[in-house]
Structure 1
Amino acid sequence: MNVFINSDDPGSGVVTKKSTNSYDIQSGEAVLTCTLSTKLKRQSDSDPVAVGDVVRWNEALQISEVLPRRNQLSRRSAVPMPGAFAHEQVIAANVDRVIPVFAAANPRPAWHLLDRYLVSAESAEIPGLVVITKMDLVADKPEAAEILSVAAEYQACGYQVILTSAETGAGLDDLRAALCGGLSVFVGKSGVGKTSLLNAIEPGLGLRVQATNQTTGKGRHTTTHMQIFQTEAGAAIVDTPGIREFGLWGVDSSELAMYFPEMRGWVGKCKFGLGCRHDQEPGCEIRLAVGRGEISPYRYQSYLKLKEEP
């Protein structure tokens, strides 16, 4: 993981694995297992350390400092009980690309999550790349048309979409090429095939996988912690536990349109300028672009739903 470490600061390392109260840190060829210092614990109600962080530690193998991040991918935490407050949950730091992973089938794709992932990535100025797995399950089936339609819609917005199958090997070479250089983060629900995809990309990893529940159609958690895996080709990939919900964090609703690439060029050109909500206002250039077919009606409706969230 030396590519992520500042060679001028040999006393630092990269957090490559994060589990409950334990962090693996790679510094050169050495891997240290550390805990949090009391000082860091007191600084935040949530965990101040994420995979991808560059950190320093003390003689007691306690992380004592988190160096400045160039970016971070975050989500809004789930609220455990009424009256409780949500907080920022940092998924990974110093990220070069965010990769939402969806299964073509088993489980059925939850497309409503896709724009949440991509908006979060856009707001952090991290490129997004969409991967659809298990294409072998819809070969020669009507569901394939839906997958191809969704892929075309996001490609039209400027996103690369890679259709893959860990079983047949389809799309894996394209994905390997896209992953080269920097740190990539796989995000998606349980059962979509993130871990199987990792095993297919780098067979030597030998990561454990579980089948999707055939009764409920829901995935089972295989990954229970955040961890960076490195491939022989030099890719570094964060495998994350399955995410059922992905609340936006730090995204101002007044700036939301800026995080939809196909809408960005119209922001500020409406009759009411930057004050336009792009909802019911007359002279809204974004609404006019939707009517002309220049912006996807599906993506526009997704924008409106996200805009109404607190």
Structure 2
Amino acid sequence: MARRKYEPTYEYEEFEAEFESLAEEPRRGRKPKPKKASANLLPGIVIRARGHHYDVLLDAPDEAAQSGTQDGRAGDTVLLCEVRGRLLLEKGRDTLVAVGDRVWVMPHGKGRGWIERIEERHSVLSRQQPGTTVPAEDVILANPDQALVVFAVAQPEPHLRMLDRFLVIAEANELPAIICANKIDLTGEAQARSLFQPYEEIGYRVIYASAVTRAGIDELRDLLLDRITVVTGPSGVGKSSLLNAIHPDLNLRTGDLRDFLDKGRHTTRAAQLFHLPFGRRTFVADTPGIRELGLYEIDPADLGFYFVDIKPFVNDCRYPNCTHDHEPGCAVRAAVEAGKIRRERYESYLRLLHGDE
């Protein structure tokens, strides 16, 4: 498919005029330092994208921005911002501003601002930009710290191959993943451990939790504190109940997490951050970047590297392009036969390799 050309549109005549006046200015660096006249720049985080406008949650209230809207929790100030024209001139193939970006804004008017600077990202949840074969990164979420993958031990029964899929996506994006085995009050912790302990054995942190008994709740709260966490997992596993147990003032009804996290979503792949009311920088995001992102971007030859238990054996195969399916001299299959890789995980690898659900 041909790449869709980036064609910025603007809703305000004043912004169009400014953009035209800057068209002849020389290109500048990605993160220009503010001039002395820009001493009123305020730091914040992009929590939602609205086309070419962005909701920016300011780090702290400021007299210059008190006309902003309140969102998330008492005292939060959010400005609806546009990007300065000179930054737009520097946009290449990759995403200029993404949800999760740390930015500096200049307030103007009532509840509005300009994004003047964009801080360097320390991590991304991204994919190849749709519609083009030219290498171009489409950043779904900037600066995530971790993924919390929630599965119930019962009601519904855990689909561990789906869990493997989530973990592969997290590994491909170099995103640390924590597994939460929820609803242990239905089965007891011993049975829950029999299901999920194999993931602990290969290096994943597993939290055994229950909103009913409050098992694991303090541990989850500590994990979320002052981090950007992608919360994901199948429907019905109790994500809403867990967040209510972590902070009861949220008052989410059972099953309401989708509504809570989908508030204001405009596209099927858009991320949105929600500020949890504990810790100044405690955010959760539910995004198709981790929940629905397909595996088609992953080269089949690389899939083994995203299974943490298969990865140590990949480079020991006789053939460098081994798929670990049928080739002779395959170190991965030998490790399976020797019990060094669990057969269930290997079968999960094969299903993903062949595109089976």
Global fold match (TM > 0.5): yes
1:202-252 Cα distance to aligned partner (Å, 9 max, x none): 233x1422349xxxxxx9655314223345356723142688634136422
- The structure having more radius of gyration, on CA atoms, is 2
Q: Determine the C-alpha separation between the residues in 2 that align with 1:207 and 1:88.
A: 37
**Would the aligned equivalents of 1:103 and 1:192 in 2 still touch at CA under 8 Å?**
yes
Task: Describe how 1:5-44 pairs up with structure 2 within 5 A.
Answer: 11=41, 13-15=43-45, 17-18=47-48, 20-21=50-51, 23-30=54-61, 31-37=77-83
Change beyond 3 A, Cα 1:295–1:234: farther
Aligned to 2:166: 117
Q: Determine the C-alpha separation between the residues in 2 that align with 1:165 and 1:89.
A: 36
3-state secondary structure, aligned to 2:78: strand
**Would the aligned equivalents of 2:178 and 2:205 in 1 still touch at CA under 8 Å?**
yes
Change beyond 3 A, Cα 1:208–1:285: same
Task: Describe how 1:54-203 pairs up with structure 2 within 5 A.
Answer: 54-57=102-105, 59=108, 61=113, 63=115, 66-74=118-126, 90-139=139-188, 145=191, 147-180=192-225, 182-203=227-248
Does residue 223 in structure 1 map to residue 261 in structure 2? Answer: yes
Taking only aligned residues, the RMSD between alpha carbons, in angstroms, comes to: 3.9
Q: Determine the C-alpha separation between the residues in 2 that align with 1:38 and 1:304.
A: 48
Aligned to 2:99: 51
Matched letter for residue 152 of structure 2: A
Aligned to 2:284: 238
Q: Which runs of 5+ in 1 are unaligned?
A: 1-5, 213-218
**Would the aligned equivalents of 1:258 and 1:267 in 2 still touch at CA under 8 Å?**
yes
Between the aligned residues of both structures, percent identity stands at 35
Aligned to 1:261: 308
Q: Determine the C-alpha separation between the residues in 1 that align with 2:193 and 2:144.
A: 28
Aligned to 1:215: none
3-state secondary structure, aligned to 1:266: helix
1:249-272 Cα distance to aligned partner (Å, 9 max, x none): 642221211111111211211111
1:56-81 Cα distance to aligned partner (Å, 9 max, x none): 4565635576544222124689x9xx
1:15-64 Cα distance to aligned partner (Å, 9 max, x none): 35326556432333043332555976xx6999864432123456563557
Moved more, 235-244 or 260-269: 235-244
Q: Determine the C-alpha separation between the residues in 1 that align with 2:96 and 2:295.
A: 18
Q: Determine the C-alpha separation between the residues in 1 that align with 2:292 and 2:49.
A: 20
Q: Which runs of 5+ in 2 are unaligned?
A: 1-30, 62-76, 264-271
Moved more, 43-52 or 243-252: 43-52
Aligned to 1:3: none
Q: Determine the C-alpha separation between the residues in 2 that align with 1:89 and 1:101.
A: 26
